[in-house]
Amino acid sequence: MDIPETPSESQGERSPTSKRADAERNRERILTAARKLYASEGLTISMAAVAREAGVGKATLFRHFTTPQQLIDAVFADSMDAYVDATTEALADSDPWHGFVRYITSVCEMQARDRGFADVLTLTFHSAKALEERRTQAYHGFLEIIDRAKVTGHLQTDFVSEDLILVLMANAGVLSATANDAPDSWQRLIGHLLRGFASPGAPIPPMPPPPSSDSLYLAMKRAE
């Protein structure tokens, strides 16, 4: 049920404190609904669908978030903070190659946990300024991760930052195709990619097991 935020929506006047509390509750309901829908369906969910899930009117939704980009920015603020933290943790690793492997794996796992975030990492939102600032911060951290890993001799010299975008796009595609039937398939993909990025003799994590034939068949059938 939509909680009224203005006198015209309620019976009689309400105190400013009461209206602020109602507005904050509605905002949290909207964010909770958006997180749920983005995580399960991706960023194609409409604002109207978010309003329905939150149990608020569209007018209430647009009072808090006038554009989809503003809502996306608010929903994924914490996730983008974690994305930046992943670069910090990788740079703090005493073994730069291990930090590189850790970073690639961690970011792909973030995508696996949240389909909406998988989309966020492969798209740009120029009007979502806070989100883009965090993305830029993480990008510059990743450039340093690459340089440090190359110094060890374990990362192929032709690896470039654009390769991360390809990794994230590939992972997002696998997640979209297999999430319902073979949700751990992304781990196998990343295992293969890390082997391609590693120089001969570089220490690499054990290869994750492949998905079963039956689970992949179901995923392929679903994609028809």
pLDDT in tens, 25-62: 999 999 999 988 988 787 888 999 999 999 999 999 99
Quote the pLDDT of residue 21.
83
Burial class from Cβ neighbours inside 10 Å (0-12, 13-18, 19+) for residue 124 reads: exposed
Residue 198 DSSP SS3: strand
Quote the pLDDT of residue 224.
67
Distances (CA, A) of 62 to 21, 27, 28, 58, 71: 17, 10, 14, 6, 10
Give the domain ranges of the chain.
7-75, 77-222
Look up the pTM and report it. 0.77
User: Residue 84: is its pLDDT beyond 60?
Assistant: yes
The better pLDDT of the pair 76, 197 is held by 197
Assess if CATH 1.10.357.10 describes domain 7-75.
Answer: yes
Quote the pLDDT of residue 191.
97
Average pLDDT, integer, range 144-168: 96
User: Residue 157: is its pLDDT beyond 50?
Assistant: yes
* Highest averaged pLDDT of the listed ranges 23-37, 57-71, 168-182, 184-198: 184-198
Pick the CATH number of 77-222 from 2.30.29, 1.10.1760, 1.10.357, 1.10.150: 1.10.357
39 backbone dihedrals φ, ψ, rounded to 5°: -65, -35
- Which tens digits make up the pLDDT trace of 122-150? 777 666 677 788 888 999 999 999 999 99
CA 125 to chain centre: 13
9 pLDDT tier (thresholds 50, 70, 90): very low
- Whole-number mean pLDDT of the chain? 88
Using only C-alpha atoms, what is the Rg of the chain? 21
Apex 98 CA angle, 109 and 164, nearest 5: 50
Which percentage of the chain shows pLDDT scores above 90?
57
Distances (CA, A) of 196 to 111, 119, 149, 167: 21, 24, 14, 12
User: Residue 11: is its pLDDT beyond 60?
Assistant: no
The better pLDDT of the pair 120, 213 is held by 213
Quote the pLDDT of residue 203.
96
Is residue 73 within 8 A of residue 117, CB to CB? The reply is no
